[in-house]
Structure 1
Amino acid sequence: MTADPVGGAAPCCDEYARLSRRGLFRSAALLGATATFGSAVVTTSGSAPAAAATRSARNVLVVLSLRGACDGLNLVVPHADPAYYTARKRIGVPKERLLAVDDMFGLHPALAPLLPLWDSGRLAAVHATGLPAPNRSHFSAMEEIEDADPGSAVRSGWLNRFLGADSYTSPLQGVHVGGGVPPASMYGAHDVMSARNVDSVGIAGDDQWVVDDGRKRSLDLLWRGNAGPLGRTVRSSFAAVADFAPVHAVPSGPRNGARYPQGDLGSAMKEVARVLRGDVGVEVVTVDHGDWDMHSDMGNLEWGRMRSNTTELAEAVAAFFTDLGPAAANVTLVTLSEFGRRVRENDNWGTDHGFGNVMFLAGAGVRGGRYHGRWPGLTDAPDADLLVTTDYRSVLSEVVSRRFGTSSAQVFPGFSPETVGVMA
């Protein structure tokens, strides 16, 4: 594998292989103070107040990150652009197999579980989205997308700024599900929580063998008078665990006939649905799904990682909205990936790091059943990219302003969004 000419000289696959371990420690260094109870983690900058009493969330934003740079050209196929099939003779998706076909685009056939959302106007795609300039480093591009405030020295992610737009403060407003530290988009002054699953949220060691909440009382005594960042975080964590109690009372099984796929994403989305049914004031949920870094073995419709990843993605999202039932009327889901892939397939049945990509939006407020964005056209040059015609922040600005009534200027400082038309 050759070095990537943009965004760093390290071989791309080696870089991404180090993502879990290196990214974990790097993110932990940025998070300030953390407190861990069970496998749940509450993070704070050290200046945020303790958790307030919970409230019901009117609307919820779920951000699903497709880690590793998904190939948007094979998720939403530009079948009418002749360069697509010229550049992808082996891995291109045949037009006759595409779903929801219009004059230019069609969906990968593995997205079939999402067709009910598409046909009912609750799923849309925005093509040729991304960063304003190419950045082919996984680490750098993820940080740039999740910080979303170029040039600023303040360590604050766009979702944390979104959560801080009003005076209400509780770690339960922002929850990362699936384990690990929250993404950089959630880092900032506002407390947030990360948990592998619902059952992991609790005080470690506080079990049936501890009499009269002795562990809790001991920890409370230890940290009650500590004025430092860790003391504030521990008290905030205690309050968050207590406020999370209604979620534990929610049955763990899916509802409404929903069937989640096997795998990390299906498990995470099932937990997200359970959290939202608990109605403890969660306003933002983040979930990660990978690995989409397919330099090799992307395959075609009969085999390969693209088919399996896309199937898992579609089945998990479809099951999630089915599981929610009427509560889905308050939930908007957005997918993000750090960058797209090159137009031309490589010799290993894969594609290399590119530029423009596709974003999906599903659920409440989405003007669905259609493809949005301005198509720039493709070329078959060896290093050709899908160019970006819509800054990803314009899509997110429309979500936060139209669906949630939050000033996009507060969430994306200094950025002037263009109208995309994907949100009603």
Structure 2
Amino acid sequence: MTTETLTMNETCGCPEGRGLSRRTLMRRLAAGGALGATLTVLEGFSPAARFAFAAEPASYAGDVLVVLSLRGGFDGLNAIVPAGDPAYATARPTIGVPTSRLIGADGIFGLHPGLAPLEPFWKAGTFGAVHAVGQPNPTRSHFQAMEELERAAPGSSLRTGWLDRTVGTRADAGAFQAVQAGSSAIPASLRGPNPEMALDSVKSFAISGAWDDGERARWTTALRAMAVPGAPAPIADPARAALAAAGTTAALAAKTYQPSGEASYPDTHLGKALRDVAQLIKAGIGLQVATVDEGDWDMHAGMGQAAKGGWMYDHLHDLAAALAAFATDLKSDSKRDFFSRVTLVTLSEFGRRVGENGSGGVDHGHGNAVLLLGGGVNGGKVHGRWPGLADEDLVDGDLAGATDYRLVLGEILTARCGASSLGDVFPGLTGDALGVVRPRS
């Protein structure tokens, strides 16, 4: 149920919608996409209306995979700092992080002090990193790098996204199987024939264009008419799925969500999106894959020092605070330890140059750090082969991408998400597991 949301005020002067678009619904009907769901809802999608949740989602024994895209080019060298490499301080004389400020230093690597909210998870072994990760065919173009990163099929003619292909290897689990949270724009990683859904937030989710009670009633009536018993499945199933998605989110939004334990989500875009992901996970409505975006990592100038008020410091602290709240919320639930069945991984289109520029920032580079958080993560350490920062070890001034990022994702899929083979997801991928996660018991 792709939600390529139609901006209504750009086409007909109506208010902008948020959720399931007419274009998407009609495309799904035309394509015959079948999403099995049985929820019906009274006119208006009122939170007070009586309705039944969708049928039990298809059985899935793997972790919920959360992919957090740090868009703009995350500076892994100043996040997971290779302070033990003597070339680091030389290359970054003004923006480098002093060894005395590092968290969890192990002789080679240490965490930027902005990541302090995640220190308890680092010590507990549920937060870790992989360094010097890269793409087989690097580019310094934001668009091209992200496109290839999310397609994840270099040297092939595939044009689908790697997460769409992942979902395509599994049984259909309903409307919430794959969700983009915090944005109505579907990422390229979910591009393809398999259904997915995007929502700016649980509270705001609705059928795009149904901007008032009258329109909601009209669309509800139309969808129910398409979903009547005996209607052709290519028409009835997507209509039922649309009703299910709107009704289920209405039910969730009707209750004030209370994070578990001492979890306190920051009032940021990322904090709100991860809070929604946690709510969807706990609701047990079939979520298997969630994608979330966080931007503003393109720090060409004014990155700042490793202290509050610096651009990098503040961004890392906001990131860490949101991730720490998410992990605390999932592991502190009184009914179940959800954290043990969730793996979160960060990706960015490329890293930054090793040497700082004259504007107190760093330009587009190559090798980068990937962050991992979850109950099954083999954390408290930095994985991967470190190629070094000496001039002779660099690739055109960049940290080498010594580890193909798909090896990290592939290990998560096989060890934590139940994938038996990666051929359909990452064609042609070869290489040994890094030990970034523990096999699921």
TM-score by length of 1: 0.84
Aligned to 2:196: 192
> Which amino acid counterpart does residue 343 of structure 1 have in structure 2?
V
CA contact (8 A) 1:250 1:274 kept: no
Residue 389 of structure 1, CA deviation: 0.8
CA contact (8 A) 1:54 1:243 kept: no
Residue 287 of structure 1, CA deviation: 0.3
Cα distance change, pair 204–386 in 1 and its aligned pair in 2 (3 A): closer
1:362 aligns with 2:373: yes
Q: 1:82 aligns with which of 86, 99, 106?
A: 86
Q: 2:430 aligns with which of 385, 405, 416?
A: 416
1:50-105, CA deviations, whole angstroms, 9 ceiling, x for partnerless residues?
Answer: 23434275420100000001100000111111111001000000001101111210
Secondary structure, counterpart of 1:409 in structure 2: coil
> Which amino acid counterpart does residue 289 of structure 2 have in structure 1?
V
Q: How far, CA to CA, are the matches of 2:104 and 2:87 in structure 1?
A: 21
Secondary structure, counterpart of 2:302 in structure 1: coil
Residue 156 of structure 1, CA deviation: 1.2
Q: 1:311 aligns with which of 317, 334, 341?
A: 317
1:306-337, CA deviations, whole angstroms, 9 ceiling, x for partnerless residues?
Answer: 01110110000000111122211111100001
Aligned to 1:279: 284
CA contact (8 A) 1:62 1:334 kept: yes
> Which amino acid counterpart does residue 39 of structure 1 have in structure 2?
R
1:333 aligns with 2:318: no
Aligned to 1:117: 121
Secondary structure, counterpart of 1:171 in structure 2: coil
Q: How far, CA to CA, are the matches of 1:108 and 1:320 in structure 2?
A: 20
Aligned to 1:132: 136
Correspondences of 1:26-41 after superposition (within 5 Å): 38-41=17-20
Residue 233 of structure 1, CA deviation: 5.1
Secondary structure, counterpart of 2:176 in structure 1: helix
Aligned to 1:396: 409
Correspondences of 1:246-261 after superposition (within 5 Å): 247-248=252-253, 250-261=255-266
> Which amino acid counterpart does residue 140 of structure 1 have in structure 2?
Q
Q: How far, CA to CA, are the matches of 2:349 and 2:359 in structure 1?
A: 22
Q: 1:349 aligns with which of 351, 360, 381?
A: 360
Correspondences of 1:202-221 after superposition (within 5 Å): 202-203=206-207, 209=213, 215-221=219-225
Correspondences of 1:139-150 after superposition (within 5 Å): 139-150=143-154
1:166 aligns with 2:170: yes
Q: How far, CA to CA, are the matches of 1:103 and 1:47 in structure 2?
A: 57
CA contact (8 A) 1:178 1:195 kept: yes
CA contact (8 A) 2:184 2:200 kept: yes
Residue 47 of structure 1, CA deviation: 4.6
CA contact (8 A) 2:5 2:208 kept: no
Residue 203 of structure 1, CA deviation: 4.2
> Which amino acid counterpart does residue 151 of structure 1 have in structure 2?
G
Secondary structure, counterpart of 1:92 in structure 2: coil
Correspondences of 1:230-249 after superposition (within 5 Å): 234=239, 236-244=241-249, 247-248=252-253
Cα distance change, pair 394–208 in 1 and its aligned pair in 2 (3 A): closer
Q: How far, CA to CA, are the matches of 2:277 and 2:263 in structure 1?
A: 13
Question: What runs of 5+ residues in structure 2 fail to find an aligned partner?
Answer: 8-14, 38-54
Aligned to 1:3: none
CA contact (8 A) 1:69 1:337 kept: yes
Cα distance change, pair 311–51 in 1 and its aligned pair in 2 (3 A): same
Aligned to 1:386: 399
Secondary structure, counterpart of 1:393 in structure 2: helix
1:48 aligns with 2:27: no
Give the stretch that moved more between structures: 219-228 or 407-416.
219-228
Give the stretch that moved more between structures: 222-231 or 121-130.
222-231
Cα distance change, pair 263–211 in 1 and its aligned pair in 2 (3 A): closer
1:102-122, CA deviations, whole angstroms, 9 ceiling, x for partnerless residues?
Answer: 121000011111011111110
Q: How far, CA to CA, are the matches of 1:27 and 1:360 in structure 2?
A: 34
Give the stretch that moved more between structures: 182-191 or 39-48.
39-48
Give the stretch that moved more between structures: 42-51 or 294-303.
42-51
Aligned to 1:16: none
> Which amino acid counterpart does residue 113 of structure 2 have in structure 1?
P
Q: How far, CA to CA, are the matches of 1:362 and 1:49 in structure 2?
A: 33
Cα distance change, pair 68–206 in 1 and its aligned pair in 2 (3 A): closer
CA contact (8 A) 1:124 1:362 kept: yes
Aligned to 1:293: 298
TM-score by length of 2: 0.81
Residue 206 of structure 1, CA deviation: 6.8
Residue 364 of structure 1, CA deviation: 2.5
Residue 405 of structure 1, CA deviation: 1.7
Residue 240 of structure 1, CA deviation: 2.9
Cα distance change, pair 342–243 in 1 and its aligned pair in 2 (3 A): same
Question: What runs of 5+ residues in structure 1 fail to find an aligned partner?
Answer: 1-23, 29-35
1:198-257, CA deviations, whole angstroms, 9 ceiling, x for partnerless residues?
Answer: 112234687995599554113443798998999975554233334555534553232212
> Which amino acid counterpart does residue 416 of structure 1 have in structure 2?
T
Secondary structure, counterpart of 2:119 in structure 1: helix
Give the stretch that moved more between structures: 127-136 or 89-98.
127-136
> Which amino acid counterpart does residue 265 of structure 1 have in structure 2?
L
Secondary structure, counterpart of 1:384 in structure 2: coil
CA contact (8 A) 2:20 2:207 kept: no
Secondary structure, counterpart of 1:65 in structure 2: strand
Give the stretch that moved more between structures: 234-243 or 138-147.
234-243
Q: How far, CA to CA, are the matches of 1:305 and 1:387 in structure 2?
A: 25
